[in-house]
Structure 1
Amino acid sequence: MKKDQLLTRRRALIAGAAALGAAGAAGVLASGGGDETARPVAPAPGPDPAPQESHVLPPSDYRLQPLTGYEQVRPAPRMTRVRHQPFLRVRGRGRTMVLTFDDGPDPRYTPHILDTLAEYDVRAMFFVCGEMAVDNQDLLARMADDGHIVGNHTWTHPLLTRLKRSQIRSEMERTSDVIEDAYGERPLWFRAPYGAWNRATFQLGAQMGMEPLAWTVDTLDWTTPGTRTIVDRVEDGAAPGVVVLSHDAGGNRSQSVRALRRYLPHLLESGYHITVPRRRHA
């Protein structure tokens, strides 16, 4: 099957994913510091954090791709509102939660996480690093096929607040390019490494059509505290609207893999609806 046919198939799967895993959970994401939040729309699959455009923003300065042969020209990314705070949680109907995994994909751990999510028919978000994604594009393709959301987590996971604006742009653009090639769509979400945001990250993310998403519950699994501790942190922090941060790369993530297998069925049995956020224009 040709690459363009595969991407067409993946785009169709991505578009229908939220409807499969997020029925009746329409809502918005809440930011961390008084920033404007999105208005809920009529009942639709998944929480919908994207705000109505209230004003015209400057055109994007994202580089244009020249037309070469029969290669498709990438459309300019849709501008989003420039935020001053990242979204921290979901506000919607019912006991809605979002599971997110950072720093991958890693062929040692990501496939096991995908297997568990598939077993329970649950969708999650993966914030990937370009340097990991470029060598594991098959895992991004599987995420697309399984209906997960892939977000931008920069290329090398640097502390962005110490970089020049041009360096931040490069980190984000290169990662978005790899995601589009393997996943079939450019990312609509961005997460700053270490949760270190500044004005440039918000502005550049908006120019590339991405919304900033942080988290509510940090499992601190990167410290390898033990499987039981990770499970306790998720279950103790579970509440309507919570966004959970875990990792599928960046070190030994076997505890994170085992913890997911324990807390996911418990959350579902407790009535939580594990879903992914949906952008209105997505």
Structure 2
Amino acid sequence: MKKDQLLSRRALLTAAAAAGAAGTAGALAAGLGNGPARPPAPAPGPPQGSPLKPSAYRLQPLTGYGAPRAAPRRPPVRSEPILRMTGPGRTMLLTFDDGPHPEYTPQILDTLAKHDVRATFFVCGEMADYNRDLLSRMADEGHVVGNHTWSHPQLTRLTRRRIRSEMERTSEVVEQAYGDPPRWFRAPYGAWNRATFELGSELGMEPLAWTVDTLDWTTPGTGTIVDRVEDGAAPGVVVLSHDAGGNRSQSVRALRRYLPELLDSGYHLTTPRRGRV
């Protein structure tokens, strides 16, 4: 009797194993035969020659991005971006747009690390995708990474669908490389509209602009950039500089000069926190 039961059990196990192998083979065959669908390429950016500030360059968009993730907790929908941040004492924020760049961003990170200062980097998804190691370094060193769209277009010229794509693709790359989705968003050229505020909120991001524009993208000279930061320094100020989008060697040198001077003057350089507006 026991021998019959043993033979019967072996027969059942053999049949189950055969069925499982067949199912696995079928699934693999199906996967090989049907690759992922290629998403449509983004539409061209805004027309050239229009008066855009504070930068005048364009990044060419890449195609291909994953499925959107579940939306995080939404902040309120604002009607204008945040320009200043409150904090204890003489608090200021240093922000850098358009990167990360493989040459200039590491030099900026080195200077910040030397002085034990944290900053905020509003990255373009296209640049971040090619320099994910720099986003990982930003995370390791305590910096904040914000969303500056995928290809740096003027959002007020785009459809709502294109704006969402620009934001979502960048948030996805940031989350993969930085470890967390961005909680702050900055519109290229400071061009905001209702759609940017609404979509940013849907993706869990607050809009942060700036108080002091160094205009370093015009390469006015290292001394001029330093003067603009020091002349504009005040509690709550948000400083705008760039770590990509052109030759940023002046921005790198200027940071090395004005950062220790701000610290010696009693300023606390920090990163944005929600609720401190």
Quickly name the TM-score band, shorter chain normalised. Answer: 0.7 to 0.9
Structure-1 separation of matches of 2:176 and 2:85: 29
Gaps of 5+ in 2: 1-65
> Which residue among 103, 107, 124 is the counterpart of 1:129?
124
Name the structure 2 match of 1:277: 272
Q: Quote the Cα distance in structure 2 between the aligned partners of 1:261 and 1:274.
A: 14
What secondary structure does 2:240 align onto?
A: strand
Secondary structure of the residue that 1:101 maps to in structure 2? strand
TM-score where L is the length of structure 2: 0.74
Q: Does 1:242 find its partner at 2:237?
A: yes
Alignment of 1:205-220 (within 5 A): 205-220=200-215
Aligned: 1:225 with 2:220: yes
Match of 2:114 among 119, 142, 145: 119
More helix by share: 2
Matched with 1:186 is: 181
Correspondence for 2:82 among 72, 81, 87: 87
- Structure 1 residues 64 and 109, CA gap change in structure 2 (3 angstroms): closer
**CA deviation profile, 1:23-56 (whole Å, cap 9, x unmatched):** xxxxxxxxxxxxxxxxxxxxxxxxxxxxxxxxxx
One-letter amino acid of the structure 1 residue matched with residue 73 of structure 2: R
Matching residue of 2:50: none
Give the CA deviation at 1:221: 0.1
Q: Residue 90 of structure 1 aligns to a residue in which SS?
A: coil
What are the superposed Cα offsets for residues 93-145 of structure 1, whole Å, 9 maximum, x if unpaired? Answer: 21000000000000010000000000000000000000100000000000000
The CA distance in 2 between the partners of 1:108 and 1:98, in whole Å, is: 23
Residue from 154, 158, 162 that aligns with 1:159: 154
- Amino-acid identity (%): 78
CA distance in 2, matches of 1:112, 1:92: 27
Equivalent residue number for residue 137 of structure 2: 142
Query: For 2:92, which of 91, 94, 97 is the aligned residue?
Result: 97
Q: Distance in 2 between matches of 1:269 and 1:135?
A: 36
Once the two structures are TM-superposed, the CA of residue 278 in structure 1 deviates from its matched residue by: 1.5
Is contact 2:212-2:238 (8 Å) kept? yes
Q: In structure 2, which of residues 150, 168, 171 is the aligned counterpart of residue 173 of structure 1?
A: 168
